[in-house]
Homo-oligomer: A and B are copies of this chain.
């Protein structure tokens, strides 16, 4: 019997789980902090130990598959990491190092974390049974994943889904983005940018905002407070949300026009705490998309939370998507 393992290697946590042959629910979920030792050799060793832990407890030496979702931009389908801001890696052959460390028993697949999450939602979550899916996660940054005709869209070099870096401004006022570009939707609606903008505007434009009393002080205001203020009709909060929602809505809507998905999943730490912004974004998507593509589309929140990446990575590897071995 083949052992199937999924690992989610994020900026904060390393999660691992084993799966039965039906690849449904994970069992025996293991979680540890990524911590400070983030050099490639240390991380490879810890990922390998997390995978082998199940191998040893389950049954020792049969065939095994390991899918890893990693918070990184990849350069190929064998785990070459072009860039991972979280791990401070550039041009690291993560796949090659891990395959060598684990040995030929293991078949490996290395995936972008949001692609793995998207696949997980299509297996067991908000897009169960859907063959054409767009999933967009608005947390600190903005990431996306695409499924077309039942297949994960990986792209030529495994970096499809980068919807955070589509341009929504291209005039002289376009804001700089951490990616090095300007006018990316992430530079307007990504969580870290929204938080900075709130902090910058509160003492001036936002000084009379309801968000401040809701938070119990100007230094405690989060996007969640701004959202509740906007819902209550607060001028500043509503102006901010109605500026940002169409930017994200157009970015999503334009991708829908090109891809014609049946399901658009909206998730991530920012959108899950800002229901008013979520509703405004839904409206903006509906306006931006031609009717032939809006009719078959359902917009839903993500369902699986932290498990999505584990389920997705394990399933992609177990079903042979871009797998390799030492």
Cβ of A261 and Cβ of B292 under 8 Å apart?
Answer: no
A260 on interface, CB distance cutoff 8 Å: yes
Copies of chain A in the complex: 2
Interface-located stretch among A7-15, A28-36, A141-149: A141-149
Residue of B nearest to A132 (CB): B156
Q: Is the CB of A257 within 8 A of B165?
A: yes
A170 touches B250 (CB 8 A): yes
Assess whether A154 is interfacial by the CB under 8 Å rule. Answer: yes
The reply to whether the CB of A309 lies closer than 8 angstroms to some CB of chain B is: no
Number of A residues, CB within 8 Å of B: 49
Residues of B within 8 A of A246 (CB): 170
Considering the chains assembled together, what is the distance between the CA atoms of A158 and B189 in angstroms? 31
Question: Given that A148-B151, A153-B149, A296-B157 are contacting pairs, would A167 and B288 also be in contact in the complex, using a CB cutoff of 8 Å?
Answer: yes
Asked if A258 is an interface residue, CB under 8 A from chain B, the answer is yes
Cβ of A162 within 8 Å of any chain B Cβ, yes or no, is yes
**Which among A149, A180, A253, A262 has the greatest number of chain B C-beta atoms within 10 A?**
A149
Interface presence of A295 (CB below 8 A): yes
The docked-state distance in angstroms from the alpha carbon of A123 to that of B165 is: 31
Knowing A155-B261, A156-B261, A251-B254 touch, does A290 contact B181 (C-beta < 8 A)? yes
Q: Which residues of B contact A166 (CB under 8 A)?
A: 253-254, 257-258
Q: Which one of B73, B132, B153, B179 contacts A259 once the chains associate, using CB atoms below 8 Å? A: B153
Give every chain B residue within 8 A of A165 (Cβ-Cβ). Answer: 257, 290
Complex contact A259–B160 (CB within 8 A): yes
On chain B, the residues within 8 Å of A295 by CB distance are 157
A83 touches B (CB below 8 Å)? yes
Restricting to A72-126, which residues have a CB under 8 Å from any CB of B?
73, 75, 82-83
Q: Does A272 contact B (CB under 8 A)?
A: no
Query: A158 to chain B: which residues have CB within 8 Å?
Result: 260
Q: Is the CB of A157 within 8 A of B260?
A: yes
Instruction: Give bound CA distance, A132 to B261, whole Å.
Output: 18
CB closest chain-B residue, reference A263: B156
Q: Which of A157, A170, A255, A290 counts the most chain B CB atoms within 10 A?
A: A290
CB–CB A149/B146 < 8 A: no
- Contact (Cβ within 8 A) A160 B258: yes
- For the A-B complex with A160-B259, A181-B288 known, give 17 more contacts whose Cβ atoms are closer than 8 Å: A75-B292, A144-B258, A146-B259, A148-B148, A148-B160, A151-B151, A154-B260, A156-B261, A156-B262, A157-B295, A160-B258, A166-B258, A167-B253, A170-B250, A170-B288, A180-B291, A255-B255
